[in-house]
């Protein structure tokens, strides 16, 4: 069988050598080689069998005169080759079945998060996907293991450097008296007199100037701060300085577009090197998953028109932005910083979080204009099917309500090609599991233990549903997202959170204002209405998808947490989420004044608890919101937990 595989590749290479190469193709050369065969220590994945890993570099050229590229910031300052084109390259990693005849003919692209490599969840290998990662974040340093591009630095025509203002934020979260921090871009004039450093206790507090003697440059890419004694470990330091040599980061969108387009539609590159997936025919479809930063990337890629390749063809038939909230990215900007994500306390004033928020075109009463993420793809008929999924942390930190409301908090409908799901009770990215081990009592800089509620089982099921929607038109489950008409989206202080002893609930949420980023720091104007999810009498969110461990709870799981004393107390604690366990029995509950029923009152026997978890898991399987293997694993963990005592 392996011989047949190699012969097929030789045939594909021969075919590639005699075809006429499309002169407009972006990919000029793909240097990929098999670096691990079999991969995954030789493990077999059902009828698909073993996989192998390919890794290498794709080289490309971009025409700055193409209308599709006019929006790439500083592309007009990128070096040109002899053909008047801009060159870039990017790392590509592919996992494919060794017997490529077992490939399901769909590309499953996973957007790298901060350059991370990997092959995703096992279920997608069992389904026979070709799993692809393409580098896009151009401000990262390449290593032997990450997946990043090499993008040009902007220069003026005479070769002189581009200089401009840049904003750096630092929050150290410790009690050191002297701290050092790296800059995203080297300083053009590394002298304190040419910059401004301020400090403030929290968002909304006045900025206090740090005098020149209070900070200095270690070198052009690093500063040292003598931290003022009157500010605690959660203080926000902002440096405005003149930076040099911006990277043309917007080419990262083109990198994913061009490589996926090549793998979908081309037999060979411009030099005749064969497409590593083409020996059994070209792909029928391509879908993409982006988690967190990567989900924000997908929303931004869609909005900026990069789901259309240079031939006018669709790139991804399906997209799954996960835990992106209503945001995009700080990528296609001069001196962009794609690693920033705008939270309530951290990175709050960076670009990438402004409207549009919704997929459909909606009038923004704050910005006074109509816009939507699908405007460009609608014009080119290249809109994908979209599953948007968030966790509860995104309600509090990523303004998820703006996916389904306008700027004044009024309901808006989702387009027909979009489904939205909110996975209740989860922290950003999900926890490691309610019964995966001891809940970590040490909350670090947060007030409360982190929510352990997992997200990945439901995310897997939603991605499988997206695949079915794309390849055979099987409708995914109906959207499960809180909404204004159903009364499950409310002002954050009005969600009905119970009075749990020892718990501070303030309704603190990541607010959003219309911002002017032409000044540093930006000027904030009118405020958007950001809503949160209504909770039940236990404090658990009512709407959305409820994991079996939330439907049959042993505590309260939230998407919010607060910083503790000494670290900007009371501000949102990033995407941590909180966990407040129920009392063991009625006596303990009444002694503490806890309004929530105890474990004993809910589950008089262990078997009653396991049965309830199994029923909740089975319901989600029937609704196609949980895969059977994951449901079985959840039930087994409940059975091994001992919750509710023993029979």
pLDDT of residue 212: 83
Q: What value does the mean pLDDT take over residues 209-219?
A: 95
Q: What value does the mean pLDDT take over residues 106-114?
A: 98
Q: Which residues are CB-contacts of 363 (< 8 A; sequence separation ≥ 6)?
A: 369, 370, 406
Q: Which residues are CB-contacts of 537 (< 8 A; sequence separation ≥ 6)?
A: 496, 498, 595, 596
Q: What value does the mean pLDDT take over residues 75-95?
A: 98
Domain positions in the chain are: 1-152+248-283, 163-244, 340-605
Q: Which residues pair with 92 in a beta bridge?
A: 56, 134
pLDDT of residue 171: 98
Report whether pLDDT(317) > 70. Answer: yes
- Give pLDDT tens digits for 493-550: 999 999 999 999 999 999 999 999 999 999 999 999 999 999 999 999 999 999 999 9
Q: Are strands 106-110 and 285-291 parallel, antiparallel or unpaired?
A: parallel
pLDDT of residue 633: 97
pLDDT of residue 443: 87
Q: Pick the closest to residue 544 from 488, 469, 624, 602 (CA basis).
A: 488
Q: What value does the mean pLDDT take over residues 89-101?
A: 98
- Give pLDDT tens digits for 15-46: 333 333 443 468 999 999 999 999 999 999 99
Report whether pLDDT(13) > 80. Answer: no
pTM: 0.95
Report whether pLDDT(7) > 90. Answer: no
- Give pLDDT tens digits for 278-297: 999 999 999 999 999 999 99
Write the DSSP assignment of 346-374 as a string of letters.
Answer: SSTT-SS-PSP-SSS-EEETTTTEEE-TT
- Under DSSP, is residue 334 helix (H, G, I), strand (E, B) or coil? coil
Report whether pLDDT(578) > 80. Answer: yes
Six-digit token pair at 522? 């930006």
Q: Which residues are CB-contacts of 362 (< 8 A; sequence separation ≥ 6)?
A: 356, 370, 371, 372, 406, 412
- Give pLDDT tens digits for 146-192: 999 999 999 999 999 999 999 999 999 999 999 999 999 999 999 99
pLDDT of residue 21: 41
Confidence of residue 439 (pLDDT cuts 50, 70, 90): low
Report whether pLDDT(6) > 50. Answer: no
Q: Which residues pair with 362 in a beta bridge?
A: 371
Q: Pick the closest to residue 390 from 483, 458, 310, 288 (CA basis).
A: 458
Calpha distance 605→608 (Å, rounded): 5
- What is the average pLDDT value for the chain, to the nearest integer? 94
Q: What angle do CA 170, 172, 173 make, to 5 degrees?
A: 135
Calpha distance 482→415 (Å, rounded): 16
Confidence of residue 488 (pLDDT cuts 50, 70, 90): very high
Handedness of CA 141, 143, 146, 148 (dihedral sign): positive
Report whether pLDDT(96) > 70. Answer: yes
CA distances from 141 to 117, 162, 183, 186, 206 (A): 14, 21, 14, 14, 36
Other Cβ atoms within 10 Å of 57 Cβ, number? 16
Q: What value does the mean pLDDT take over residues 390-416?
A: 98
pLDDT of residue 5: 41
Handedness of CA 508, 513, 518, 521 (dihedral sign): negative
Report whether pLDDT(354) > 60. Answer: yes
pLDDT of residue 9: 40
Q: Are strands 51-62 and 86-97 parallel, antiparallel or unpaired?
A: antiparallel
Q: What value does the mean pLDDT take over residues 267-277?
A: 94
pLDDT of residue 436: 76
Calpha distance 262→56 (Å, rounded): 15
Write the DSSP assignment of 508-520 as a string of letters.
Answer: -----EEEETTSS
Report whether pLDDT(438) > 90. Answer: no
């Amino acid at each position: 069988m392996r011989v047949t595989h190699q012969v097929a590749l030789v045939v594909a290479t021969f075919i590639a050598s005699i075809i006429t190469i499309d002169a407009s193709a972006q990919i000029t050369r793909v240097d990929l080689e098999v670096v691990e065969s079999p991969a995954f220590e030789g493990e077999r994945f059902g009828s698909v069998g073993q996989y192998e890993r390919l890794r290498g570099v794709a080289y490309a050229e971009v025409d700055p005169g193409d209308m599709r590229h006019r929006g790439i910031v500083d592309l007009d300052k990128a070096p040109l080759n002899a053909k008047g084109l801009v060159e870039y390259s990017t790392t590509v990693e592919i996992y494919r079945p060794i017997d490529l005849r077992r490939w399901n003919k769909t590309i499953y692209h996973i957007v790298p998060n901060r350059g991370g490599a990997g092959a995703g969840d096992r279920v997608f290998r069992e389904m026979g996907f070709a799993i692809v990662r393409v580098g896009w974040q151009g401000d990262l340093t390449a290593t032997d293991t990450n997946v990043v591009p090499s993008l040009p630095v902007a220069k003026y025509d005479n070769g002189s450097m581009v200089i401009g203002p840049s904003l750096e934020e630092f929050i150290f979260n410790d009690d050191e008296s002297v701290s050092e921090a790296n800059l995203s871009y080297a300083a053009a004039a590394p002298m304190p007199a040419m910059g401004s450093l301020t400090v403030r206790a929290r968002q909304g507090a006045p900025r206090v100037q740090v005098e020149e003697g209070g900070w200095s440059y270690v070198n052009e890419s690093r500063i040292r701060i003598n931290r003022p004694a009157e500010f605690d470990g959660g203080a926000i330091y902002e440096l405005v300085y003149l930076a040099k040599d911006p990277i043309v980061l917007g080419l990262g969108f083109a990198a994913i577009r061009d490589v996926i387009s090549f793998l979908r539609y081309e037999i060979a590159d411009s030099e005749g090197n064969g497409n590593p997936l083409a020996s059994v025919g070209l792909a029928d479809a391509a879908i993409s998953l982006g988690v967190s930063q990567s989900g924000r990337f997908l929303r931004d890629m869609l909005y900026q028109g990069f789901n259309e390749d240079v031939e006018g063809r669709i790139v991804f038939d399906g997209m799954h932005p996960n835990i992106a909230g209503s945001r995009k990215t700080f990528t296609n900007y001069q001196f962009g910083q794609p690693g920033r994500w705008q939270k309530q306390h951290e990175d709050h004033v960076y670009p990438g979080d402004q409207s549009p928020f919704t997929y459909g075109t909606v009038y923004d009463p704050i910005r006074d204009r109509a816009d939507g993420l699908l405007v460009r793809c609608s014009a080119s008929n290249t809109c994908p099917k979209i599953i948007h999924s968030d966790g509860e942390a995104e309600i509090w930190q990523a303004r998820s309500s703006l996916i389904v409301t306008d700027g004044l908090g009024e309901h808006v409908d989702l387009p027909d090609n979009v489904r939205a799901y909110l996975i209740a009770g989860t922290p950003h990215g999900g926890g490691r599991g309610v019964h995966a081990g001891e809940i970590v009592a040490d909350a670090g800089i947060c007030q409360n233990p982190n929510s352990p509620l997992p997200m990945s089982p439901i995310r897997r099921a939603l991605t499988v549903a997206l695949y079915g929607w794309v390849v055979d038109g099987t409708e995914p489950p109906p959207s499960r997202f809180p909404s204004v008409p159903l009364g499950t989206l409310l002002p954050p202080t009005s969600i009905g959170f119970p009075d749990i002893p020892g718990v501070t609930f303030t309704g603190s949420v990541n607010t959003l204002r219309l911002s002017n980023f032409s000044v540093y720091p930006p000027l904030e104007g009118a405020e958007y209405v950001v809503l949160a999810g209504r909770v039940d009498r236990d404090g658990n969110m009512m709407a959305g998808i409820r994991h079996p461990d939330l439907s049959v709870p042993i505590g309260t799981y939230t998407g919010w947490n607060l910083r503790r004393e000494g670290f900007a107390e009371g501000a949102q604690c990033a995407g941590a989420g909180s966990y407040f366990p129920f009392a063991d029995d009625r006596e303990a509950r009444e002694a503490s004044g806890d309004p929530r029923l105890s474990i004993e009152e809910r589950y008089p026997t262990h078997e009653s608890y396991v049965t309830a978890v199994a029923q909740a898991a089975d319901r989600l399987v029937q609704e196609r919101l949980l895969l059977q293997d994951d449901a079985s694993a959840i039930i087994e963990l409940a059975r091994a937990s001992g919750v509710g005592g023993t029979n």
